[in-house]
Structure 1
Amino acid sequence: MNSDAVKVGIDRAPHRSLFKALGLTDREINKPLIGIVNSFNEFVPGHMHLRQIAEAVKAGVRENGGTPLEFSTIGVCDGIAMGHVGMHFSLASRELITDSIEIMARAHAVDALVFIPSCDKIVPGMLMAAMRLNLPSIVVSGGPMLPGRHEGKNVDFITVYEGVGKVYSGQESQEWLQGLEQNACPTCGSCAGMFTANSMNCLTEVIGMALPGNGTIPAVYSERIRLAKETGYQVMNLLRDNIRPRDIVTSTSIRNGVAADMALGCSTNTILHLPAIAFEGEIEFDLAEINAISDRTPQICKLSPAVNGHYLVEVNEAGGISAVLKSLLDAGLIDGSGMTVSGSTMAERLSSAVVKNPSVIRPLTDPYSAKGGLCVLFGNLAPEGAVIKVGALANRDIVFEGAAKVYDGEDLAAEAIRSGVIKEGDVVIIRYEGPKGGPGMREMLGPTATLAGMGLDSSVALLTDGRFSGGSRGLSIGHISPEAALGGEIAFVENGDMVRIDLEKRTIDWLLPESEKAERRNSFDPKKGLEKVYKVAGRTGYLGRYVQFAQSANKGAAFRTVKEE
């Protein structure tokens, strides 16, 4: 179906009258109708400038023969939602974004779509909608924030969170922290490091759904406006050539995305969103394949939140994501045969890309690490997998064994960390924070950043069936599957149990005799933890419905499909 369904023929005279009520001329109505999906709001710094980006997109659409019609989506700022009930809604908003776009596009019979996201869940939510609808589509984000400066050093949003830990540990004063918060986030845009938003905007470029520069051109640069105009222009070419998202996003381009993820050291949340995008496109995604890709893909960028990491603006100046991809392509680490929204193959698009600063984008012969920035751990504590951002660790070959301190929820664990209960060598387990048990799989930036600020990020392991912010670092292992609420092994661990993590072997094991494990399983109350779910989610609100449909983290927490009778 295209827009002729709402504008052509005698029967559509009433429809045309409504378009004319919008001020559209017959010429505009007769052109293709292009949906401009804008996630602007006044809560999110990454989205506060998206009206300007949308106007630039519209200009490009009009220049190339289309009629742009804008509509909005919701967008949650993870930073503002962090550490309170709001974080239950962050991941859950992704599916709502996807559904709302589907409703608007189908109800109004648009011919093509331009997506304008910026931050964490909005980017994958829009990509999931693109895969579901399979209309000619293209993405242009709002771009990354510039880093701030404080006491002669580059700082960002995560620096403030880690500063909280320094105040709690007595290393810094509250006055120092106030100065830091004044300077950490100096511009609009998605937070300056390789956190989840910028990770997903870079990977959108990698999988072929955005023009070069989408992931790295800073939000405040005029080049970002020019990119938006080119994006609006290009969507019309995609429409004429009938190039659709499922022609671009394939198993090959998803693997390219994982390879780039490894080279860049992206957020662990990418391993939540890529499976969900693949799920919408009916593409098989095997979590175990991530380790195989990581084994052969060196990490050639080290970006904040890694210690002494670079920022996205520096990657942009060094040649951008295209330069990273060209290095991988020349080494045979990605496949350049796939189509992109540029209307050319990835190899053709990268033909002139060069690395301009080898200290930011290192040569493959001198990587930060011979293996990629993320890995998946398996073992009896996580039989369906768990994820860690090894690229943010100073030592990637850690074997860590310690006694568990178990907390049923983030709030109890955060209080234990702040009060000094957690000591060097502990294994902190935070459970009932998965997609169902959370509900909503909250990010836990507070606990990880506080540990980092206290200097415990490499000497305390933090394990959860929830997830971490893209700004987290240290021995932070998330997405443990199955989650506690589904009776996963993490539900049966008790204080004092020994846990062993071997990053070289990529294992995570609960060291307890099998007979005792079986006894605990037999005495397990499946209703444990549900009290929190019902208290937070209620039984009639959106979270209550979300709990019914969200799948496990190893499936991207995507909604399960409705089974046919």
Structure 2
Amino acid sequence: MSPTNLPASPIIIDEKANPYRDCIQGLANQPITVVKLLRDAVNENPVVARDRDFGVPEIRDVVGRLVENRPRIAIIGGAPDHPAHLLDRPQALMAAIRIWEMGGVPFLFHVPVICDGTAQNNIGQSYSLASRNHTAAAVNITFEGHSYHAAYVIAGCDKSPAAVVAGLAAADHARAYRGDQAPVWAVFAPSHVLKGGEIPEGTRRMLDDIAASADAAGHDDLGSDIRENMRYILQCTSDEAFAGLLERARLLGLIDGALERRVLDQLATATCDSKGGICAFNGTGNSSRTMLAAFGLTPPELELLTDVPPFSAVAVGVDALFNVFNKPEYAIGNLLKANFANFVRIHNATGSSSNMLLHLPFMMRYAGFDVSIDDYQDVRTETPVPEIFAHSLTENRDTFVLAQQMAEGKNRGMESIYRILADLGVAMDLDAPTVLGKSWAERIAGLENPVDLSLGDASVIRATPVRKRSGVDVITGSFFENCAVKTSGMSDHLLSHFDDHVFIVRYYENEHVCNGDFASPDLVTRLIETDGVDEELIAAVVRRNGGNRVDMQSPKDMLAQGHLSFAFVIGGQGPEAYGMPEMFSPSQNLRHHRILEASSMLITDGRYSGVTKGACIGHMVPEAFTGGGIGYLRDGDVLRLNLTTLKLDWLDPVAFENGEELATDPRGIKERVELFEGRLRRMEARQCDIAASNVLDAIGNAARGIVPRAVDRRAIKSWR
């Protein structure tokens, strides 16, 4: 079979500099890597090679192309110790064949990708966010060090897609300054979706028995929590919830440690499909998939895969690059700038991860644009969007199902989302360019039915909004500058109930003690016996929150009704203090605890997993380690949350006792300064848990993406 859609004549990149022509060492060193890559591609894809009559070139052929300045394209994959990258190699080798066939020169390199699930709730989480900055640097170093023109990226999970975007965008920014090299072009092929597992029948029976035992022992809240979690597709996230639930059961004496271990082991065995992929929940992995497509960096054929893509789909991605070479308007920096506001709107409309409020300014600042979460909030405020994603892990509407629906032609992925939002009157910039060499207007022209109506309630993407309020909000307050709350992760009931609501602080210096409280059989007793909490304070809080009955003999009832509310504050988790680990485990324990979910919220200067649900506030700036007000809070403080005005305030304790609500800052109080100084010493000591090479030092804060100071200083361009 003869190759199709080949350029009429070889494409030569238009630039002054060509290191492979002007530096004999590169020309001598690199051709053998290309020949080896193409030899592997032929040997491991014999059918593709045979059908296309593809032969391995000689070294002199590679040398000739390098001297001519043909497109040098890096294929970037991830490490195979991450489930998302198990199928990278066959796709990478197909891309190599097509790049050579189109007249370019392919290279292949991989970056390490930390699995947030594996790192969860242990020291690995303190390396997780740091890995994003290191990966951006590694991508940039390799891309610039070997003078590549473009990238075909097999994008994985968690932070790595944002990291690769940032590394490539930084190269694009630097090349614009130097002026003698072409810009950077890139196309992204997000890793396939991981099919969710199922709880084995025998394991399900054991869980049913444990739930029944909880009911019989008077702990029906635990019984209902277990049954609720059994409704979810089996993923690492639901496993984490089961871990917390089973620990509660063991501490209540309902099961022993051996049964707890057996159930957890059986769940772990049944969780992941052998093909791997990005977990099917709408966490940071799939939010990053959405991000790449929304920025116009992903062709539809590669957007939502469930397996290794066919050669034809890989060819679409490679061909897209060749169609935009020598067109600066399609360089990665320009696509980021042109589609920034579009992505903010789509991020909100799809209920995506709150982690993107860290990654969005991170990518934009690496690209040279002066962006913070203030810009995010400006766009969100100027153009409110409804939620159009009916994503569900309990009703067969996860991302794997979304991918199946797209494969069946029942939606067109990102193009459907752009069409629906435009039809709903959202001010989408449809003139913005995409890597396909077309604007969004051109891509969605003629798309009259963005979602197959026959899907009905089974459709993940909805042409009719799921609800009016969506996305992530930026909150300000009397004792901090800003923080983030995932509005889409809260039910309508919680959004209403916690609007203009007060909470009693229970303070923690690490998440492990908080988890211990959540699992404790005497949790309610611990809460009402919190330092600084007495009957008068409880009565004042209950009445303030609409309760008309204060019964100290039944504090559990006041919690279950949501009138007695606690703010579980976990400080000292910020980027400079401890690498900004995810507080996912306590968030899952809160979400899957009927009493706590109805009454309480989590607050941290750390971050949360993208799949977090419930009342969780994170990314607090300034963090405790740098003198932020969160480090001055203590047990028994009262906080007021207003989700209408997006304010979270510390209320003066004396005034509150007298029936007044005075929003102020605890940092000026002498005894609070002494409290903070002790905490700071403990934070500094705890920081030594992390290898010095991975401490996040000399960085911008969470509102500015937690980027290195040099990146922060050079981000001076306007994205508007």
TM > 0.5 fold call: yes
Pairing of 1:390-405 with structure 2 (within 5 A): 390-395=488-493, 396-399=495-498, 400-405=501-506
> Are 1:108 and 2:146 counterparts?
yes
CA distance in 1 between partners of 2:605 and 2:396 (Å): 27
Distance 1:53 1:389, change over 3 A: farther
Distance 1:298 1:417, change over 3 A: same
> Are 1:19 and 2:107 counterparts?
no
The residue identity in structure 1 corresponding to 2:92 is A
Which of 254, 258, 274 is the matching residue for 2:360?
A: 274
Pairing of 1:481-500 with structure 2 (within 5 A): 481-500=621-640
Q: Secondary structure at the match of 1:200?
A: helix
Which of 421, 432, 447 is the matching residue for 1:328?
A: 421
The residue identity in structure 1 corresponding to 2:701 is S
| Corresponding residue for residue 232 of structure 1 | 318
CA distance in 2 between partners of 1:3 and 1:142 (Å): 35
Per-residue Cα deviation, 1:288-333 (whole angstroms, up to 9, x for no partner): 454555462000113246x657211232314122211210123342
> Are 1:454 and 2:593 counterparts?
yes
Pairing of 1:342-491 with structure 2 (within 5 A): 342-353=436-447, 354-356=450-452, 357=455, 359=457, 360-361=459-460, 363=462, 366-395=464-493, 396-399=495-498, 400-420=501-521, 422-423=523-524, 424=559, 425-438=565-578, 440-455=579-594, 456-491=596-631
Offset of residue 504 of structure 1: 2.9
The residue identity in structure 1 corresponding to 2:583 is M
| Corresponding residue for residue 205 of structure 1 | 293
Offset of residue 38 of structure 1: 2.9
With 137-146 and 523-532 compared, the bigger mean Cα shift is at 523-532
Q: Secondary structure at the match of 1:154?
A: coil
Pairing of 1:13-412 with structure 2 (within 5 A): 13-22=24-33, 23=35, 25-31=59-65, 32-134=70-172, 135-150=184-199, 154-170=233-249, 174=260, 175-186=262-273, 187-212=275-300, 214-218=302-306, 220=307, 222=309, 226-242=312-328, 243-250=330-337, 252-291=338-377, 293-294=379-380, 296-304=384-392, 308=395, 310-316=397-403, 317=405, 318-319=410-411, 320-333=413-426, 334-353=428-447, 354-356=450-452, 357=455, 359=457, 360-361=459-460, 363=462, 366-395=464-493, 396-399=495-498, 400-412=501-513
> Are 1:550 and 2:646 counterparts?
no
Distance 1:292 1:308, change over 3 A: farther
With 265-274 and 517-526 compared, the bigger mean Cα shift is at 517-526
CA distance in 1 between partners of 2:482 and 2:136 (Å): 26
Per-residue Cα deviation, 1:372-423 (whole angstroms, up to 9, x for no partner): 2222222124422333243443533232422111001222222222225654
Per-residue Cα deviation, 1:516-558 (whole angstroms, up to 9, x for no partner): 65215544655733544454447973223x22x2221111112
CA distance in 2 between partners of 1:182 and 1:490 (Å): 40
CA distance in 1 between partners of 2:582 and 2:702 (Å): 13
Contact 1:35 1:110 in 2 (8 A): yes
CA distance in 1 between partners of 2:641 and 2:136 (Å): 36
With 377-386 and 41-50 compared, the bigger mean Cα shift is at 377-386
Distance 1:484 1:304, change over 3 A: farther
Per-residue Cα deviation, 1:490-535 (whole angstroms, up to 9, x for no partner): 1111001111222233221222254865215544655733544454
Per-residue Cα deviation, 1:30-85 (whole angstroms, up to 9, x for no partner): 33353434343232111121112211222231232111111121110110011111
The residue identity in structure 1 corresponding to 2:96 is K
With 151-160 and 100-109 compared, the bigger mean Cα shift is at 151-160
Distance 1:65 1:422, change over 3 A: farther
CA distance in 2 between partners of 1:348 and 1:369 (Å): 29
Contact 1:437 1:530 in 2 (8 A): no
CA distance in 2 between partners of 1:426 and 1:119 (Å): 33
Distance 1:530 1:190, change over 3 A: farther
Contact 2:77 2:92 in 1 (8 A): no
The residue identity in structure 2 corresponding to 1:281 is A
Distance 1:500 1:308, change over 3 A: farther
The residue identity in structure 1 corresponding to 2:59 is T
The residue identity in structure 2 corresponding to 1:559 is P
With 236-245 and 92-101 compared, the bigger mean Cα shift is at 236-245
CA distance in 1 between partners of 2:446 and 2:688 (Å): 51
Give the alignment's TM-score, normalised by structure 2.
Answer: 0.72
Distance 1:420 1:476, change over 3 A: farther
Q: What number of residue pairs does the alignment pair up?
A: 554
Offset of residue 233 of structure 1: 2.6
Q: Secondary structure at the match of 2:709?
A: coil
Q: Secondary structure at the match of 1:480?
A: strand
Distance 1:515 1:90, change over 3 A: closer
Contact 1:457 1:473 in 2 (8 A): no
CA distance in 2 between partners of 1:213 and 1:222 (Å): 8
Distance 1:447 1:538, change over 3 A: closer
CA distance in 1 between partners of 2:365 and 2:522 (Å): 41
Higher helix content, 1 or 2 = 2
CA distance in 2 between partners of 1:105 and 1:480 (Å): 34
CA distance in 2 between partners of 1:436 and 1:253 (Å): 31
Distance 1:114 1:193, change over 3 A: same
Rg comparison, structure with higher value: 2
Give the alignment's TM-score, normalised by structure 1.
Answer: 0.90
Q: Secondary structure at the match of 1:528?
A: helix
Distance 1:516 1:139, change over 3 A: closer
Per-residue Cα deviation, 1:147-181 (whole angstroms, up to 9, x for no partner): 22236863322111111222123399635444433
Contact 1:90 1:442 in 2 (8 A): yes
CA distance in 1 between partners of 2:266 and 2:32 (Å): 52
Distance 1:153 1:107, change over 3 A: closer
The unaligned stretches of length 5 or more in structure 1 are none
CA distance in 2 between partners of 1:154 and 1:410 (Å): 26
Contact 2:355 2:609 in 1 (8 A): yes
CA distance in 1 between partners of 2:314 and 2:688 (Å): 38
The percent identity for this pair of structures is: 21
Contact 1:465 1:484 in 2 (8 A): yes
CA distance in 1 between partners of 2:186 and 2:639 (Å): 46
CA distance in 2 between partners of 1:394 and 1:149 (Å): 29
Instruction: Output the aligned Cα RMSD.
Output: 2.8
Q: Secondary structure at the match of 2:469?
A: coil
With 82-91 and 512-521 compared, the bigger mean Cα shift is at 512-521
Contact 1:168 1:418 in 2 (8 A): yes
CA distance in 2 between partners of 1:330 and 1:512 (Å): 48
Contact 1:384 1:554 in 2 (8 A): yes
The residue identity in structure 2 corresponding to 1:330 is D
Distance 1:526 1:64, change over 3 A: farther
Contact 1:433 1:465 in 2 (8 A): yes
Contact 1:464 1:478 in 2 (8 A): yes
CA distance in 2 between partners of 1:419 and 1:529 (Å): 28
Q: Secondary structure at the match of 2:635?
A: coil
Contact 2:77 2:155 in 1 (8 A): yes
Per-residue Cα deviation, 1:197-232 (whole angstroms, up to 9, x for no partner): 1101111110112222544322x2545x64333222
Distance 1:139 1:269, change over 3 A: same
Contact 2:302 2:317 in 1 (8 A): no
